[in-house]
Structure 1
Amino acid sequence: MGLFEKIFGSYSDRELKKIKPIVDKIEALDEDMQKLSDEELKNKTEEFKERLSKGETLDDILPEAFAVCREASWRVLKMKHYRVQLVGGIVLHQGRIAEMRTGEGKTLVATLPAYLNALSSKGVHIITVNDYLAKRDRDQMNELYEFLGLTSGVIIHDLDNNERREAYNSDITYGTNNEFGFDYLRDNMVIYKEEKVQRELNFCIVDEVDSILIDEARTPLIISGEGEKSTDFYRVADFFAKTLSEDDYTVDEKTNSVILTDEGVEKAEKFFHLENYADAENMQVQHHVVQALKASYTMKRDKDYMVKDDEIIIVDEFTGRLMEGRRYSDGLHQAIEAKEGVKIQKESKTLATITFQNYFRMYTKLSGMTGTAETEEGEFREIYGLDVVIIPTNRPIARKDASDLVYKSEKGKYKAIVNDIEETYKKGQPVLVGTVSIEKSELLSDMLKRKGVPHKVLNAKYHEKEAEIVADAGEKGRITIATNMAGRGTDIKLGEGVAEVGGLKVIGTERHESRRIDNQLRGRSGRQGDPGFSRFYVSLEDDLMRIFGSERLQGIVEKLGLSDEDVIESKMVTGAIENAQKKVEGNNFDVRKTVLQYDDVMNQQREVMYKQRGEVLQGESLKEEIQDMIEDVIVSAVNAHMSGLDENLEEDIEKLIAYLEEIYLPKETVTVDELKVLSDDEIKEKLVKIAKDMYAEKEEMFGSEQIREVERVVLLKVVDTKWMAHIDDMDHLKQGIGLRAYRQQDPTQAYQFEGSEMFEQMTENIKIDTIKYLFHVQLERAPERERVAKETSTNQSGDDSVKHEPVRRKEEKIGRNDSCPCGSGKKYKNCCGRGL
């Protein structure tokens, strides 16, 4: 602790002093609230809403609203918010992160700011890490909200659009980050505003905020459709990778990459019959080889992924949970499928994407709560503008955190862990063992079986079962092996007689790459002043120490000549472990920051597109906008084709007429002789008049109501098609932009500059295609509001599977040889018009 903190207290201490008077006001109202009848207490909700409508603010009514919610909670749930929970509620309402230890009742804390902010009738979202917790928390608190006259809903995976819309229209909505993010993306792909499910993003409380906003922030949300690339090359590349010897490649574990050596490049050139492997024309070969190498030599079965029912299922590196439906991006998943000999799924085409950082930054007010946020406070401030306030525990912490025990080898470490568990089991003290992978869980389980020690292994496949097992981990004599974060969000209560034998003992089988994850594991013990004990076992063969640990430490251990079973206790060793963790945390922050820098460019473009798309959905008429588009397209065409040289005049005009005939102009409407005597401005004026007159005839013939409907549908479909292609183009740009660093050019600046040019070109192409389709469309009968048939499966990675059917409307007749408006890139007759 520095001198400043000794004199003035920590940042959290100073912030808590400012909050104390508000808490005092809430507690002072307790007696008055107790005197109210149930009916009078319920009526407070309408009273607050009326006061807000007359100009009072949420801050003005906070003490009374919190006091009402607190009293209602006691009457309905038999739970009354502690003073520290009131503090946590205020911090959340202020749009900050409340760090509260495990067992301090964060689910109940959230009801205070949720109730207060729901009074504005703009909606409150409470985000949790999985469907089970979202449903559990909503079900537990719904009785309280109903008593207070508010509605609550929950968004989980299997809901249809009507159920989702109803849940989002509730005053308070629970759900997972994935579901909320994907609903936002889907809402910006609909054809009719009635199909949207979300409303404005007002106030959000993120439970386990570090897990959602930090750990999961490296992976963007992506909705994608099936691509057309062949999968055969993955098998060929996998075969090549498996023919290599150790001299043909080098593995960089720090960056998790594999690079061919000169010998490996020679083998690649011979295998694929290439003159120069590094040539730009061989980029596709390079891409497949890189992914095959990564799959074969860095991705480990039962650690990074599992093979289940002939499918590759990702294992979450932070939780150890199986991530059903998610796929690695950029062809890596296909490379692993080839490696394991299972069916290779086709690569996908991105339809919509956003990072969690940019999704959550769209909320008017964002807050979060967790047991461990302080170590990442810098990132929360820089990326989200959130500060962290550490809330004291309701009762003093009685858990003892022992120093690490360090062993030379993994074998010696696990032998010591098993002996510790066996001794602890004999005295009846429950043990929760945290591992970093399924593989390590099963290794430890096998060793305990040989010792005859009964135990449960939690591989986190089913959230509900997981929660039940973890909830019972505090029973006498219970041994539970779980991944470090498994069962997070579930309170472990001590069974009868457990406090007398020392409470829950937590054993970490190795240090995680993040100190925060270690703290989460420790925090499973010692809730609400319970006794407890925690200790980590470390070996110099652990990935963290092997990859990031100091070489000096390895050298000292070798000189000491320690055996596998000798234990090391040293401040230098502890310091080396912490330094290694800080290195990894820094690397991970840089990765997330880079992802965000690139997505910020896309985000600006996405906001423009989605804003315009929203206006089209909401707007009554696009007539003026279409008229402007007609004029813009023609003016741009004239400017592009007329060189200004008299000797090229007739040729320029011929090309101009041919170009406009592709878009809207019937053949022989104008001739070269007619236009060559006019100035450029007169040509523009004449061509624009012809186009607008033609369009006016179309409108008069079929009625303004019908043409307005077609304008809207066509514009939306063209916008979506071009935007999807633009996303792919930007992704290709990003993949190659890193090479600009070799030319002393900042890759992110180059990405921003070139991405802006591509965006401008895309908006120009939207105008051209919209006009082209509108002039070619023929209306047969009044349009019906047919729903766009979509069967979407949305997951979190670049290769997620989505089926997206095009609009196939009876009133549209697209030319047989025109590009299909579904965005497939095929001619209409070969795609949606096969039945012509």
Structure 2
Amino acid sequence: MLGLGTLAKKVFGTPNDRKVKSVRPLVAKINALEPDFVKLSDAEIIEKTHELQKRAQEGGESLDSLLPEAFANCREGARRALGLRAFDVQLMGGIFLHQGNIAEMKTGEGKTLMATFPAYLNALAGKGVHVVTVNDYLARRDAEWMSKVYGALGLTTGVVYPFQPDDEKRIAYAADVTYATNNELGFDYLRDNMKGSVEEMMQRDHFFAIVDEVDSILIDEARTPLIISGPSQDRSELYVALDKYIPELTEAHYTVDEKTRNATFTEEGNEYMERRLHEVGILPEGQSLYDPESTTIVHHITQALRAHKLFHKDQNYVVAGGEIVLIDEFTGRMMKGRRLSDGLHQAIEAKEGVAIQPENVTLASVTFQNYFRLYDKLAGMTGTAATEAEEFAEIYSLGVVEVPTNRPVARIDEHDRVYRTAAEKYAAVIEAIKEAHAKGQPILVGTTSIEKSEMLSEMLKKDGIPHNVLNARQHAQEAQIVADAGRFGAVTIATNMAGRGTDIQLGGNVEMKVHDELAAHPEANPDELRSRIEAEHAEEKQKVIEAGGLFVLGTERHESRRIDNQLRGRSGRQGDPGRSLFFLSLEDDLMRIFGSDKLDAVLSKLGMKEGEAIIHPWVNKSLERAQAKVEGRNFDIRKQLLKFDDVMNDQRKAIFSQRREIMEAEDISEITRDMRLQVVADLLDTYMPPKSYADQWDVEGMRAAVIDQLNLDLPFAEWAAEEGVDQDVVSERLEAATDAYMAQKAEAFGDETMRVIEKQILLQTIDGKWREHLVTLEHLRSVVGFRGYAQRDPLSEYKTEAFHLFETMLDGLRVEVTRRLAQIRPLTDEERAAILAQQMPQMAAPEVEPEPEIPAGEAPQPGTPAPGFVESDPTTWGNPSRNDPCPCGSGEKFKHCHGRIV
């Protein structure tokens, strides 16, 4: 009997069915326009783009109203450029992307081509479109491939990659459509907000982004903050010293919680470590680990414990080239350059005996969650998003729409087979591989770690079965390995299949074969070569289809259903036959951590023999429930982290937007004056409070503070003795004195140079204060959790304290900027003449104007900086006129070097 929900869906259709149905009229409209666009010449297609751009940018037409014509033009451009005519389902997916949704499309349905439609339409607005991929290889490949389409339509394409020259990167961001990785986009955003002028910035608007493998980027990596950091104190010796004692520990000394990925010392463990650290003198005699002075040591030994008990070689990281390189648990790729924070990476380096790199302090950071929420409109595509639809909706306001496949899925998904032990499971896996291999069926074997993939590889070698292994160690050959995975008799072991970018086509990948043959035989005729390879491919594909298509064999369930679905989705593309089957054991991580005791007891009662498997839909259901629980818990963790990060994000946006305004302004003297007046008001409130009598004023304190912060020595004692002088009178006199003093400086330096100095001092002070503030917020966040023990909400406490810290930072910023501007003074003619004579001995010292002070010292030699010159502090630059040599010693004119005006 059907449930009420199922019955209602049969009558009314699912919400997804209704969304799909709603765009069918639009697809029909695009198809109706096709004959008109087929008739256009190549030049007329480009002309059509210019017309649509004009209508969007000048005519005020909405992109929605231009959609049918734009999609029809794009389809025709793609057909001519690539020889591919987009299917109706690809147009449908493109419409959903334009509407700001996630399009879930099965593997092999053509997501890369589908993305060109909304990218083209939104690029007409002239604000730039970002297409985001998970790795540099895919960014370059997709940009190169799809640039043919955009080129045929009259648009420009750019690609952004790590260590790209600035000029090239600026051009890439200025293109109509820019391909880039999520990491590079996030880092460029942070770098842009550390630049000193608008011209140096790379990114334009955050208008529209299409995120490929959206689940991997916005969910799996959402918790990972992007951090730009600088070196801090080197504690290498302490890491090495503490690492020696962790292997001595017994299980009674610590507890490991694999669910929360945490390791802690027991009371017995604390006592043992305290005794050992006293013996070797790391912990001073009489000092306990519980003392406040021991905070640093406790932090380091906890990280050393985590490094040993939670992070495993060839699973969480590899040792490559004398470095610890992390492995992405979702894609199995090595993440070069990515480091764990808070000293954990250094603890792993000590454990593996490689060179320890110094810890870093955060200069700027942002999470992917908050970076991608900067865009006016966001869209995504993936093969697996439906299981995380709630999170996409709640955090990113993204709907998930399942786009129908072009052809019905013919893959057979079998029930999981559950064994008692891992040994029994792997024996069954080898048998299944042998059986399928004997008939030539290509097999894709999914594992969850490098260690397991290599163990399986050894087992297959013993049985003489030829195979390829795809994991972080074979990073460079991955495209080739994936392309060959669908060939007759191929066996491929993959650590993970998310975001691989290359389709597994039955019989192999024709384009790859043609490319390789041409590289090996450049003298061959490309057309003849292609014809021969296509004929061979058709024959091999037929043999693979007869053998049953691609067999996906999973050796373990991942804690996320999406990862399993990504593996399974590799089989059965474009209506091809295929099958998928997962082999599990009660010793697998998911089963072990999330309660296999009951199942083990049931299986024991059933009297299962060794090597026997339990196969039942109920087992699948209970596994899915366990996975859904883990996903729910992970969502809650990400949601909670986001709430904390949102506090910092609001402050980050305020600082970054303020910074941008300062860089764009030609004259910020009003801003610095307002800051100065606020400093004056604060000083008066502190030392000469309103409604107080003159004999109650702290005139000596006021005089000292004004000398320190405003560089003025004023007769406050005399003013206080005058009849009728109150706070307002003192305020007027003090403001007038500071205004006159700064006007005198501006006259001495020249207005142009003064504006440059003001801007540089303000920007550098903002950056310095923001860096200090980030460190303070990190410390606050690490301790605020303990407020829960006092029945106070940690998040609420964090918000309140973070706001107060932000206010304090702004107060400090005003004082620092005012003090630095007040303390610069003109050079004497003699000082400047001496410097110029040393820098340019062949020229007589010219008549000079008064300039800012450079600290006393030896005059520079040609090609060396002026005495006391500090790159980051304009007050130490002196004040050369625009055409003088720059005091940094570069040999360039000041106006072309450090004196360049924004």
User: Mapping of 1:321-332 within 5 angstroms?
Assistant: 321-332=333-344
Distance in 2, matches of 1:725 and 1:695, equals 28
Aligned residue for 1:505? 551
User: Mapping of 1:719-730 within 5 angstroms?
Assistant: 719-730=766-777
Q: Which amino acid aligns with 1:675?
A: A
User: Mapping of 1:655-694 within 5 angstroms?
Assistant: 655-666=701-712, 668-675=713-720, 677=722, 678-694=725-741
Shift of 1:232: 2.5
Is the contact between residue 434 and residue 481 of structure 1 (CA under 8 Å) also seen in structure 2? yes
Shift of 1:648: 10
Q: Which range is displaced more, 387-396 or 301-310? A: 301-310
Shift of 1:806: 5.0
Deviations 1:225-265 (CA, angstroms, capped at 9, x unpaired): 00125232222332332332211111111111112112112
Shift of 1:811: 5.7
Q: Which one of the candidate residues 25, 38, 53 is aligned to 1:21?
A: 25
Aligned residue for 1:455? 467
Aligned in 2, Cα 1:761/1:500: closer, same or farther, shift over 3 Å? same
Q: Does the alignment pair 1:338 with 2:338?
A: no
Aligned in 2, Cα 1:37/1:542: closer, same or farther, shift over 3 Å? same
User: Mapping of 1:31-430 within 5 angstroms?
Assistant: 31-52=35-56, 53-270=58-275, 271=277, 272=283, 273=285, 275-430=287-442
3-state SS, counterpart of residue 221 of structure 2: helix
3-state SS, counterpart of residue 322 of structure 1: coil
TM-score, L = length of structure 2 = 0.85
Aligned in 2, Cα 1:627/1:646: closer, same or farther, shift over 3 Å? closer
Q: Which amino acid aligns with 1:412?
A: E
Is the contact between residue 62 and residue 116 of structure 1 (CA under 8 Å) also seen in structure 2? yes
Distance in 2, matches of 1:516 and 1:433, equals 17
Distance in 1, matches of 2:695 and 2:83, equals 87
Aligned residue for 2:578? 532
Distance in 2, matches of 1:214 and 1:463, equals 23
Is the contact between residue 387 and residue 562 of structure 2 (CA under 8 Å) also seen in structure 1? yes
Is the contact between residue 749 and residue 850 of structure 2 (CA under 8 Å) also seen in structure 1? no
3-state SS, counterpart of residue 655 of structure 1: helix
Aligned residue for 1:569? 615
Distance in 2, matches of 1:806 and 1:58, equals 47
Q: Which has the larger radius of gyration?
A: 2
Deviations 1:677-710 (CA, angstroms, capped at 9, x unpaired): 5322322222222111110110111211111110
Aligned in 2, Cα 1:306/1:274: closer, same or farther, shift over 3 Å? farther
Shift of 1:647: 9.9
Is the contact between residue 384 and residue 565 of structure 2 (CA under 8 Å) also seen in structure 1? yes
Q: Does the alignment pair 1:439 with 2:451?
A: yes
Is the contact between residue 761 and residue 874 of structure 2 (CA under 8 Å) also seen in structure 1? no
User: Mapping of 1:549-588 within 5 angstroms?
Assistant: 549-588=595-634
Aligned residue for 1:822? none
Aligned in 2, Cα 1:645/1:142: closer, same or farther, shift over 3 Å? closer
Q: Which range is displaced more, 605-614 or 700-709? A: 700-709
Shift of 1:809: 4.8
Shift of 1:441: 0.5
Q: Which range is displaced more, 579-588 or 368-377? A: 579-588
3-state SS, counterpart of residue 132 of structure 2: strand
Aligned residue for 2:819? 772
Is the contact between residue 97 and residue 389 of structure 1 (CA under 8 Å) also seen in structure 2? yes
Q: Does the alignment pair 1:606 with 2:652?
A: yes
Aligned in 2, Cα 1:338/1:645: closer, same or farther, shift over 3 Å? farther
Shift of 1:4: 3.1
Deviations 1:728-771 (CA, angstroms, capped at 9, x unpaired): 11011001111111111111111111000000000111111111
3-state SS, counterpart of residue 381 of structure 2: strand
Q: Which range is displaced more, 451-460 or 275-284? A: 275-284
Q: Does the alignment pair 1:812 with 2:858?
A: no
Is the contact between residue 650 and residue 676 of structure 1 (CA under 8 Å) also seen in structure 2? no
Identity %: 51
Is the contact between residue 12 and residue 390 of structure 1 (CA under 8 Å) also seen in structure 2? yes
Distance in 2, matches of 1:648 and 1:118, equals 67
Is the contact between residue 322 and residue 460 of structure 1 (CA under 8 Å) also seen in structure 2? yes
Distance in 1, matches of 2:255 and 2:773, equals 35
Shift of 1:608: 0.6
Q: What RMSD in Å do the two structures reach over aligned CA positions?
A: 2.0
Q: Which amino acid aligns with 1:124?
A: V
Distance in 2, matches of 1:268 and 1:461, equals 37
Is the contact between residue 778 and residue 813 of structure 1 (CA under 8 Å) also seen in structure 2? no
3-state SS, counterpart of residue 218 of structure 1: coil
Deviations 1:782-821 (CA, angstroms, capped at 9, x unpaired): 999xxxxxxxxxxxxxxxxxxxx9525586369xxxxxxx
User: Mapping of 1:791-810 within 5 angstroms?
Assistant: 806-807=871-872, 809=874
Distance in 1, matches of 2:254 and 2:622, equals 30
Deviations 1:340-366 (CA, angstroms, capped at 9, x unpaired): 122211110101101101110111110
Distance in 2, matches of 1:396 and 1:460, equals 34
Q: Which amino acid aligns with 2:719?
A: E
Shift of 1:519: 0.2
Is the contact between residue 165 and residue 197 of structure 1 (CA under 8 Å) also seen in structure 2? yes
Is the contact between residue 310 and residue 342 of structure 1 (CA under 8 Å) also seen in structure 2? yes
Is the contact between residue 664 and residue 775 of structure 1 (CA under 8 Å) also seen in structure 2? yes
Q: Which range is displaced more, 648-657 or 3-12? A: 648-657
Q: Which one of the candidate residues 794, 799, 805 is aligned to 1:752?
A: 799
Shift of 1:778: 3.9
Distance in 2, matches of 1:120 and 1:40, equals 20
Aligned in 2, Cα 1:464/1:108: closer, same or farther, shift over 3 Å? farther
TM-score, L = length of structure 1 = 0.92
Distance in 2, matches of 1:651 and 1:532, equals 88
Shift of 1:563: 4.3
Is the contact between residue 430 and residue 478 of structure 1 (CA under 8 Å) also seen in structure 2? yes
Is the contact between residue 745 and residue 826 of structure 2 (CA under 8 Å) also seen in structure 1? no
Aligned residue for 1:824? none
Deviations 1:599-631 (CA, angstroms, capped at 9, x unpaired): 100111011101110001100101111111111
Unpaired stretches in structure 1, ≥5 consecutive residues: 785-804, 815-836
Aligned residue for 1:761? 808
Q: Which one of the candidate residues 478, 481, 497 is aligned to 1:469?
A: 481
Distance in 2, matches of 1:813 and 1:681, equals 37
Shift of 1:195: 0.5
Distance in 2, matches of 1:188 and 1:132, equals 27
Is the contact between residue 321 and residue 486 of structure 1 (CA under 8 Å) also seen in structure 2? no
Highest RCO, 1 vs 2 (Cα 8 Å, sep ≥ 6): 1
Shift of 1:588: 1.3
3-state SS, counterpart of residue 407 of structure 2: coil
Shift of 1:286: 2.0
Distance in 1, matches of 2:228 and 2:287, equals 38
3-state SS, counterpart of residue 245 of structure 2: helix
Aligned residue for 1:2? 6
Shift of 1:659: 1.9
Shift of 1:156: 1.0
Aligned residue for 1:618? 664
Distance in 1, matches of 2:617 and 2:291, equals 52
